[in-house]
């Protein structure tokens, strides 16, 4: 006979003490066994803050948004409405708030209504869901201020508490938050432990201080976060009860809304949540849901604490202990971050005449997701990177328009340490184009921004595939150089497209791919990159080479021409497959799956980004239904290899190959005798019609 | 000959073999000492030049060294034989052998001085560490004859050289040998102990006067050797005999027309253009002498961008603001600092032309390679002439818009004074003599003669050099025209740009200040100061002097 098991514990009261027993069974025909059993004297119900964080990043694909909205957000709302007496705290991230206000404003209205009737406490956030410590100090303040402005306009009040994006904490944060009127935030208990706190200390909120500003901090319970909602409601409740004690104890669960309906199937989520809320409703003598604001009013803070930089346990692991490390691990993350700093300078310079929209673009581009990677997507999601650049470029163009940057001069060449690595890069700016060149990294082009309104796009938004912990022992070979453009390789004569894409070791027999080049900016705007390198042969040793790349930019046409020179300065003949590598990003349509072809056209044939192509051609056109066409044209025609560069990235659905960028490499079979030279000219131009 | 005799020991002389500034200082001072009461002889190894230039004086049997007399002025006593005849002046494989042999030969010469008819010296004036053992040896031999000369130790460049008694023994100096110092006898062993083996400190310890070449450098010297020598220390600034009239004459020969220094504004740019494009291109192997055999062998194979055959330079592709840098090819001179700053410099002044006139020395192979590579990578902007190029050396200064003197340290820095003599302002590191001879335009306005930067700071060198050449280039344009404005706007240092805005005539006034400043550093003044120091040294030597 099947066993009927109550999902929540059996509670026995005896002389003021509470005995609770949770039963579980390994199968419906097995007798239940006690899983948890405990005795608590003079126990008070533990306070419980159920904090649900809703977030969709800037640049999310429309159909993903729709799916999550249906599967998760509607489901949650149904449950909240069904159990108005169960108190919940909710945070809707800035980008999602803006998206919902535009596409599903009724959802926000419902949340506000729930808030008004006391079911929900709504929390503030940052308008771009930006990890605040990554930002310039002033931006930290404005990110929150903008959120509050938008929120207040629609809700009619300002939240007291705030959700910190990725719960990334640095001790300087009380200043921008308190200056915005934020009273408390939520961190993970591991941050408290790193400051010397005990486990039970995390059951109370504490105050912290910076420069005279105070901020309250609640601590999210790691153990609870790992079991809710993945274990049975009974186990969850039993754990919660195990943390009971005095009446001021408060247990905080804070995590993603998408865990309910998106990570696992919505049916399961609905059942689990309903059961959980039902249990909460029926166990008020043991677990009492509270709102954070209400809790603070009633119990106040436990005392003063100073907390070190930190985040949740896994984030600390992925980042190597400090979130900013992601900027070091991923040059592309650093690239976006430093693009931010570069654009910011222009925005500030533009002053009050700058439309508010420019700052909105800027703030949305600060959305944290593509700046890092843990287990899922992040920096390996090209549509998110693309959106970051779109917003920065749009903001930049608006600032340039206000500043009338190109009224008297149409070409600027800056030598600045754009990526803050100690060496100067060369940035070329025209009314329609930005071209960023890194002489130190093989004399390559790493950013190509097209600035026309409505078509903003970084055509060189690529990513370098790193070794991620989950890829160890899978046979994956990480990229040994940054996937940027105008990089010269001297492949072995028998190298193949596979060798290139999959990084077969020892195939590039030159050292010029990574060589530091010196940059000379001629008076006429030509940039000359030069270096000396070598071709290596097992039998004959090193053969010195002289490399020159002349980059010409016509300010009236959105394009650049690179003239390549490879001179053999040795006494022997160099046999190689000379490749000039480019990585180009067709703009991804984020609105629908049926926008049209995103890919390339070569010799009159159109191919999707997922397809490889190799053969003789003069030009390759990068095509997308949502952007201008970018044409790569060789001077004399070449064998051209085109291949998607995919990253085997982990997703919610397991490891999947995710497209990152389109590699395009003209290759030339060379046999350079002593003193002989190879010359080629490659043009990249954005076609406006 | 009149006056008291002084022996000035030096390992180089412009009359025998010259490598750097040391080849100029002793002979130029010696030349002017007779007027001040001293008959000065340059005592020097011949490095192979003696037989051809001098008259045989005496063969020294014990050491197997031949001595020659170059009558001068100034007279030279030249030692040849064995290591002393090796043309590599400072080659580490022969240098110690030269020091030992010269010391022993000098003792032998003193012993047989009567045979030569030369007067006994009352002053032994050593220059740099190589001359310390010979100075001690001469002093010892003269003391043995009852004559206690005073010695003056002149530091042109501090060394880190440390020696032990074994080393001095090879120079014929035993620990029990006594020499007179400050009026009392001191043993070699005692002096060596007091100097803790430092050759420079030994020179100072054993002398009645310690001299160096600039006040700033004296602080450095005393800091290293010990402040106990401060009461007997002094400064003799180097001098130059470069005069703009003479340099202009030399340049006139290259240009094939007379260049009047009073009308420099009319021809200086033409001279520059010709120097950069034609004269450089026409330099042949016979015009450039490379002493260091290893460097010569390497350079013979250098060709490629910026070079013709044998490491000779191609001409520049055209005219442009010109920077000159000269000197021995050592890191002390800061060539690597300039190379590191090239990218910034070229970015600030895309058509800049930098000419290096450099003397390879032993061990400079790596630097030569770095320069060759830099020329290849900056073929529009950089050229190098490796070796002594006498025909263009001084005219190149006259063509230059600025001189680069980025020494890491520099006791005096004659190249800065020479550049100023040719009306070229100097971008100099703020160290040693350069900190004194070059007056910063930011502090003195048009009375300034250059700009200072911190030693080793490439980016500062680039901005000071760019500022100087752009300012000088503006001097060739009509003020406040578009071309002039472009140049002034491009000047990286705001103070310099401001100076030009306020006074468009500043470039030529700065050039005049340079000439005037160089005029303060004469050999006459150096000789006058040296004579004073000799006099004081003799006073300190006391009763020993002149006896016997």
Cis-peptide, bond into residue B416, ω within 30° of zero: no
Domain check: are B234 and B339 in the same one?
A: no
Yes or no, beta carbons of A546 and B347 under 8 Å apart: no
Among B406, B434, B460, residue at a domain's last position: B460
Give yes or no for A388 touching B (CB within 8 A): no
Long-range contacts, stretch A612-620, CB < 8 angstroms, 24+ apart: A612/A497, A612/A641, A612/A642, A612/A643, A612/A644, A613/A640, A613/A641, A613/A642, A613/A643, A614/A497, A614/A639, A614/A640, A614/A641, A614/A642, A615/A639, A615/A640, A616/A640, A620/A664
Residue A672 has pLDDT above 90, yes or no: yes
Q: What percent of chain B has pLDDT over 70?
A: 99
Burial B368-390 (b: 16+ CB within 10 A, else e): bebbbebbbbbbbbbbbbbbbbe
CA atoms within 13 A on the CB side of B288: 26
Residue B418 has pLDDT above 90, yes or no: yes
> Residue B334: left (phi > 0), alpha (psi -120 to 50), or beta?
left
Give the sign of the dihedral formed by CA B522, CA B525, CA B528, CA B530.
negative
Residues, chain B: 548
pLDDT in tens, A149-177: 999 999 999 999 999 999 999 999 999 99
Q: What percent of chain B has pLDDT over 90?
A: 84
- Roughly how many angstroms between the first and final C-alpha of chain B, as a whole number? 20
Domain check: are B223 and B105 in the same one?
A: yes
pLDDT score recorded for residue A32: 53
- Alpha carbon distances (Å) from B232 to B25, B139, B213, B227: 21, 18, 15, 10
Among B439, B460, B481, residue at a domain's last position: B460
Domain check: are B106 and B74 in the same one?
A: yes
Judge whether A498 counts as a catalytic residue: no
Closest-approach residue (CA) in chain B for A530: B377
Return the structure tokens found at A135.
């930002």
A665-683: average pLDDT = 97
Give yes or no for A201 touching B (CB within 8 A): no
Which residues span the domain enclosing B442?
244-460
Judge whether A256 counts as a catalytic residue: yes
Instruction: Enumerate the domain spans of chain A.
Output: 1-43, 44-317, 423-687
Give the sign of the dihedral formed by CA B6, CA B11, CA B14, CA B15.
positive
Residue B248 has pLDDT above 90, yes or no: yes
pLDDT in tens, B43-70: 999 998 877 777 899 999 999 999 999 9
B437-442: average pLDDT = 98
Residue A529 has pLDDT above 80, yes or no: yes
Rounded to an integer, what distance in angstroms lies between the CA atom of residue A2 and that of residue A183? Answer: 51
The 3-state DSSP class for residue B490 equals helix
Whether the CB-CB separation of B438 and B452 falls below 8 Å is answered with yes
Q: Which CATH class is domain A423-687?
A: mainly beta
A44-317 and A423-687 in the same fold: no
What is the band of B18 on the pLDDT scale with cuts at 50, 70, 90?
Answer: confident
B478 domain residue, yes or no: no
B467 domain residue, yes or no: no
What is the band of A19 on the pLDDT scale with cuts at 50, 70, 90?
Answer: low
Whether the CB-CB separation of A452 and A484 falls below 8 Å is answered with no
pLDDT score recorded for residue B469: 98
Domain check: are B81 and B215 in the same one?
A: yes
Return the structure tokens found at B24.
């100029």
B497 domain residue, yes or no: no
Yes or no, beta carbons of B346 and A521 under 8 Å apart: yes
pLDDT in tens, A87-123: 999 999 999 999 999 999 999 999 999 999 999 999 9
Q: Which residues pair with A678 in a beta bridge?
A: A566
Cα–Cα nearest to A383, from A124, A92, A131, A626: A626
Return the structure tokens found at A416.
């600045």
What are φ and ψ of residue B416, in 5° steps?
Answer: -70, -40
DSSP notation for B182-236: TTEEEEHHHHHHHTTTBHHHHHHHT-SEEEES-HHHHHHHHHHH-GGGGGGEEE-
Residue A32 CB neighbours (<10 A): 15
pLDDT score recorded for residue A2: 38
Question: Which residues of chain B does A424 touch, with a Cβ-Cβ cutoff of 8 Å?
Answer: 343
Element holding A24 (H helix, E strand): strand A17-24
pLDDT score recorded for residue A654: 72
Q: Which residues pair with A17 in a beta bridge?
A: A14, A41
Element holding A299 (H helix, E strand): helix A292-299
Return the structure tokens found at A231.
């274990």
Q: What letter does residue B174 receive in the DSSP assignment?
A: -
B489 domain residue, yes or no: no
Cα–Cα nearest to B405, from B438, B364, B379, B378: B438
Give yes or no for A231 touching B (CB within 8 A): no
Dihedral over alpha carbons A656, A661, A663, A664 (to 10 degrees):
140
Q: Give the list of residues 6+ apart from residue A306 with CB closer than 8 angstroms, or none.
A: A171, A195, A208, A209
What is the Cα gyration radius of chain B? 24
B421 domain residue, yes or no: yes
A143-147: average pLDDT = 98
Yes or no, beta carbons of A520 and B381 under 8 Å apart: yes
Active-site hit among A99, A146, A166, A188 = A166
Residue A591 has pLDDT above 70, yes or no: yes
pLDDT score recorded for residue A17: 54
In this complex, the residue of A518, A521, A523 whose CB is nearest that of residue B377 is A518
pLDDT in tens, A487-519: 999 999 999 999 999 999 999 999 999 999 999
Domain check: are B266 and B224 in the same one?
A: no
Yes or no, beta carbons of B350 and A546 under 8 Å apart: no
What is the band of B145 on the pLDDT scale with cuts at 50, 70, 90?
Answer: confident
Closest-approach residue (CA) in chain A for B349: A523
Domain check: are B283 and B136 in the same one?
A: no
pLDDT in tens, B333-350: 999 999 999 999 999 999
Yes or no, beta carbons of A530 and B380 under 8 Å apart: no
Yes or no, beta carbons of A424 and B343 under 8 Å apart: yes
Give yes or no for A6 touching B (CB within 8 A): no
Q: Which residues pair with A680 in a beta bridge?
A: A564
Domain check: are B282 and B232 in the same one?
A: no
Domain check: are B378 and B438 in the same one?
A: yes
The architecture (CATH level 2) of A44-317 comes to: Alpha-Beta Barrel (3.20)
pLDDT in tens, A370-394: 999 998 889 999 999 999 999 999 9
Give yes or no for A522 touching B (CB within 8 A): yes
Among B413, B434, B460, residue at a domain's last position: B460
Helix B25-32 / helix B523-541 crossing angle, nearest 10 deg? 80
Domain check: are B234 and B294 in the same one?
A: no
Return the structure tokens found at A590.
């984020």
pLDDT in tens, A439-494: 999 999 999 999 999 999 999 999 999 999 989 888 899 999 999 999 999 999 99
Cα–Cα nearest to A520, from B288, B354, B352, B378: B378
pLDDT in tens, B209-232: 999 999 999 999 999 999 999 999
B22 domain residue, yes or no: yes
Active-site hit among A78, A223, A246, A256 = A256
Rounded to an integer, what distance in angstroms lies between the CA atom of residue B51 and that of residue A621? Answer: 78
In this prediction the ipTM stands at 0.80
If one counts the domains in chain B, the total is: 2
B35 domain residue, yes or no: yes
Burial A439-477 (b: 16+ CB within 10 A, else e): bbbbbbbbbbbbbbeebbbbbbbbbbbbebeebeeeebe
Return the structure tokens found at A58.
């800037």
Return the structure tokens found at A235.
């186990």
For residue B185, what is the domain's CATH number? 3.40.50.2000
Domain check: are B401 and B445 in the same one?
A: yes
Q: Give the list of residues 6+ apart from residue A298 with CB closer than 8 angstroms, or none.
A: none
């Amino acid at each position: 006979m099947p066993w009927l098991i109550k999902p929540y514990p059996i509670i026995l009261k005896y002389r003021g003490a509470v005995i609770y027993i949770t039963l579980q069974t390994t199968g419906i025909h097995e007798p239940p066994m006690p899983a948890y059993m405990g005795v608590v004297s003079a126990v008070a119900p533990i306070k419980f803050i159920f904090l649900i964080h809703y977030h969709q990043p800037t640049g999310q694909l429309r159909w993903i948004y729709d799916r999550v909205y249906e599967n998760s957000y509607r489901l949650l709302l149904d449950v909240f409405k069904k159990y108005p007496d169960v108190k919940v705290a909710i945070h809707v991230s800035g980008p999602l708030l803006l998206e919902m206000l535009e596409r599903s404003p009724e959802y926000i209205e419902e949340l506000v209504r729930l808030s008004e009737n006391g079911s929900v406490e709504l929390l503030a956030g940052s308008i771009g869901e930006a990890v605040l410590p990554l930002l310039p100090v002033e931006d930290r303040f404005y990110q929150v201020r903008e959120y509050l402005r938008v929120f207040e306009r629609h809700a009619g009040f300002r939240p007291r508490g705030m959700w910190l994006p990725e719960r990334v904490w640095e001790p300087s944060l009380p200043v921008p938050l308190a200056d915005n009127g934020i009273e408390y935030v939520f961190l993970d208990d591991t941050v408290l432990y790193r400051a010397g706190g005990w486990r039970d200390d995390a059951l109370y909120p504490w105050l912290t201080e910076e420069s005279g500003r105070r901020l309250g901090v609640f601590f999210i319970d790691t153990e609870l976060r790992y079991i809710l909602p993945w274990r049975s409601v009974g186990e969850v409740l039993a754990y919660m009860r195990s943390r009971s004690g005095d009446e001021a104890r408060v247990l905080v669960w804070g995590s993603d809304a998408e865990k309910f309906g998106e990570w696992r199937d919505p049916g399961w989520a609905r059942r689990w949540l309903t059961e959980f809320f039902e249990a909460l409703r029926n166990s008020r003598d043991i677990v009492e849901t509270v709102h954070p604001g209400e809790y603070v009013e009633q119990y106040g803070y436990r005392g003063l604490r100073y907390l070190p930089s930190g985040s949740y346990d896994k984030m600390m692991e992925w980042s190597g202990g400090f979130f900013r490390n992601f900027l070091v691990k991923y040059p592309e993350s650093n690239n976006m971050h430093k693009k931010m700093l570069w654009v910011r300078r222009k925005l500030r310079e533009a002053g009050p005449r700058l439309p508010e929209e420019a700052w909105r673009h800027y703030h949305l581009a600060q959305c944290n997701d593509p700046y890092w990677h843990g287990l899922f997507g992040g920096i390996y999601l090209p549509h998110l990177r693309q959106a970051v650049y779109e917003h920065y470029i749009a903001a930049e163009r608006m600032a340039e328009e206000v500043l009338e940057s190109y009224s008297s001069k149409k070409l600027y060449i800056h030598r600045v340490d754009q990526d803050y690595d100690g060496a100067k890069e060369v940035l070329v700016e025209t009314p329609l184009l930005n071209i960023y060149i890194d002489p130190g990294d093989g004399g390559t082009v790493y950013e190509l921004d097209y600035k026309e309104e409505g078509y903003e796009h970084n055509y060189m938004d690529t990513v370098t595939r790193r070794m991620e912990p989950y890829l160890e022992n899978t046979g994956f070979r990480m990229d040994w150089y940054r996937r940027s453009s105008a990089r010269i390789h001297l492949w072995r004569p028998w190298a193949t497209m596979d060798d290139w894409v999959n990084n077969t070791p020892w195939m590039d027999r030159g050292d010029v791919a990574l060589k530091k080049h010196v940059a000379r900016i001629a008076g006429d705007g030509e940039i000359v990159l030069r270096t000396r390198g070598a071709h290596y042969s097992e039998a004959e040793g090193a053969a010195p080479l002289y490399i020159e790349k002349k980059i010409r930019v016509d300010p009236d046409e959105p394009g650049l021409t690179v003239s390549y020179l490879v001179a053999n300065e040795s006494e022997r003949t160099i046999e190689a497959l000379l490749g000039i590598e480019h990585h180009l990003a067709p703009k991804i349509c984020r609105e629908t799956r049926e926008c049209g072809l995103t890919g390339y056209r070569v010799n009159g044939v159109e191919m999707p980004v997922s397809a490889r192509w190799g053969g003789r051609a003069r030009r390759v056109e990068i095509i997308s239904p949502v952007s201008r066409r970018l044409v790569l044209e060789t001077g004399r025609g070449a064998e051209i290899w085109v291949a998607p560069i995919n990253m085997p990235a982990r997703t919610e659905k397991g490891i999947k190959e995710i497209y990152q960028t389109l590699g395009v490499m003209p290759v030339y079979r060379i046999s350079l005798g002593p003193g002989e030279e190879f010359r080629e000219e490659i043009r990249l131009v954005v076609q406006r019609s | 000959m009149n006056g008291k005799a002084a022996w000035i020991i030096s390992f180089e002389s412009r009359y025998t073999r010259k490598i750097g500034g040391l080849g100029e200082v002793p002979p130029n001072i010696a030349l002017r000492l007779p007027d001040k009461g001293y008959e000065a002889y340059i005592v020097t190894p011949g490095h192979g030049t003696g037989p051809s230039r001098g008259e045989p004086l005496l063969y020294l049997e014990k050491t197997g060294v031949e001595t020659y007399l170059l009558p001068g002025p100034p007279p030279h006593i030249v030692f040849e034989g064995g290591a002393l005849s090796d043309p590599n002046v400072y080659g580490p494989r022969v240098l110690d052998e030269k020091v030992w042999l010269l010391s022993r030969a000098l003792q032998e010469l003193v012993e047989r001085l009567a045979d030569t008819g030369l007067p006994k010296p009352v002053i032994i004036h050593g220059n740099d560490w190589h001359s310390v053992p010979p100075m001690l040896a001469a002093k010892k031999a003269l003391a043995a004859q009852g004559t206690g000369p005073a010695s003056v130790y002149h530091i042109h460049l501090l060394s880190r050289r440390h020696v032990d008694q074994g080393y001095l023994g090879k120079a014929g100096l035993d620990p029990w040998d006594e020499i007179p110092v400050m009026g009392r006898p001191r043993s070699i062993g005692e002096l060596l102990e007091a100097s803790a083996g430092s050759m420079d400190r030994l020179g100072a310890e054993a002398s009645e006067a310690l001299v160096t070449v600039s006040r700033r450098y004296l602080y450095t010297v005393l800091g290293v050797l010990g402040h106990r020598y401060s009461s007997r220390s002094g400064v003799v600034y180097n001098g130059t005999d470069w005069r703009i009239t003479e340099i202009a004459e030399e340049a006139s020969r290259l240009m094939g027309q007379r260049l009047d220094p009073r009308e420099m504004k009319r021809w200086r740019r033409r001279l520059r253009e010709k120097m950069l494009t034609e004269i450089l291109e026409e330099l042949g192997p016979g015009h450039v002498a490379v002493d260091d055999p290893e460097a010569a062998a390497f350079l013979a194979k250098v060709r490629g961008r910026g070079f013709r055959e044998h490491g000779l330079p191609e001409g520049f592709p055209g005219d442009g603001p010109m920077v000159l840098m000269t000197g021995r090819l050592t890191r002390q001179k800061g060539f690597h600092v300039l190379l590191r700053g090239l990218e910034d410099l070229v970015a600030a002044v895309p058509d800049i032309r930098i000419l290096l006139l450099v003397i390879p020395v032993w061990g400079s192979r790596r630097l030569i390679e770095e320069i060759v590579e830099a020329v290849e990578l900056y073929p529009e902007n950089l050229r190098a002439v490796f070796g002594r190029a006498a025909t263009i050396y001084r005219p190149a200064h006259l063509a230059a818009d600025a001189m680069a003197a980025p020494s890491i340290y520099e006791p005096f820095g004659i190249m800065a004074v020479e550049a100023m003599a040719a009306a070229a302002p100097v971008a100099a590191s703020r160290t040693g003599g350069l900190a004194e001879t070059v007056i910063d335009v930011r502090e003195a306005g048009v009375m300034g003669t250059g700009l200072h930067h911190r030693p080793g700071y490439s980016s500062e060198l680039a901005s000071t050099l760019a500022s100087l050449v752009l300012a000088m280039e503006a001097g060739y344009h009509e003020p406040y025209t578009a071309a002039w404005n472009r140049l002034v706007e491009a000047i990286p240092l705001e103070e310099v740009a401001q100076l030009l805005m306020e006074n468009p005539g500043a470039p030529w006034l700065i050039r005049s200040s340079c000439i005037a400043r160089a005029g303060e550093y004469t050999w006459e003044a150096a000789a006058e100061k040296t004579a004073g120091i000799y006099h004081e040294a003799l006073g300190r030597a006391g009763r020993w002097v002149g006896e016997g």
